[in-house]
Amino acid sequence: MEAILLPLTYFGNVSYFIHLYKSDEVWIDDREVYLKQTFRNRCQILAANGKLDLTVPIVGTKGRELSIAEIKIAYDDPWQQKHWRTIVSAYKSSPFFEEFEDDIKELLFSKHEFLKELNLEITLKMIELLGKEKSFNLKSEIELPVHSRSLLGYFKPSKMPQNHMQLESYIQVFNYKYGFIPNLSILDLLFNEGPYALSYLLNSPEL
């Protein structure tokens, strides 16, 4: 039985949740050194003008290497309002937007000091909304098994493996403009597939 190690992500992508649900043992590294230009503080959605990054601003680290548990969220700019307006614009016409609207808005406007806290709350809420319990261990709380596979370097917007193109298509809001865009944020799958999102994850290959 193989254990996997995942990072904490901001509304992680479909591949992230496929690994989460289909792996026998899951550890999440809540004390890894924070990596820039990754899904730790951003997600990708499909908007009217194409694929779009939503990025959570962080307080500058001044060149120091900090763990994700030490990364503070910056609130100088009203990024929460901007993210929410963008999500509404992108998904208000999706079949299940109204079903999840309140939960996602509440998550987005919860004011956490640290990025770890926000991402952990998001991950737990996504599991709840998907409708199937899934337990995981936090690396800060329990020792990682000797035989485990790290996926910490896997979730980078610029370096996602091309095999994610193998994901089965589903109807997206802007299919008529762009065709199917695979492996977006779990938000895209939830708003478009609703109660069928879980079966999509469980029936997809681990990429």
Q: What is the pLDDT of residues 29-55, one digit of tens each?
A: 999 999 888 999 999 999 999 999 999
pTM of the predicted protein model = 0.93
The residue length of the chain stands at 207
Burial class (CB in 10 A: 0-12, 13-18, 19+), 104: buried
Per-residue pLDDT at 206 exceeds 90? no
> b vs e for 78-92, b when ≥16 Cβ sit within 10 Å of the residue's Cβ?
ebbeebbeebeebbe
Q: Is the pLDDT of residue 128 over 90?
A: yes
For residue 4, list its beta bridge partners.
26, 149
Structure tokens at 96: 């299940």
Strand 50-55 to 42-47 pairing = antiparallel
Q: Assess contact for 19 and 151: CB atoms under 8 A.
A: yes
Give the pLDDT band of residue 73 (cuts 50, 70, 90). Answer: very high
- Which residues does 55 contact at the CB level (< 8 Å), separation at least 6? 41, 42, 79
Using DSSP, state whether 11 is helix, strand or coil. coil
Token pair in block for residue 29: 């590294």
In the predicted model, is pLDDT for residue 162 greater than 60? Answer: no
pLDDT of the residue at 37: 86
**Phi, psi dihedral angles at 73 (to 5 degrees):** -80, 135
**Please, which residues have CB within 8 angstroms of residue 127's CB and are 6 or more apart in sequence?**
20, 133, 134
Helix (H, G, I), strand (E, B) or coil at 117: helix
Q: What is the mean pLDDT of the chain?
A: 92
Give residue 68's pLDDT band: very low, low, confident or very high (50, 70, 90).
very high
Cβ burial of 136 (10 Å; 0-12, 13-18, 19+) is middle
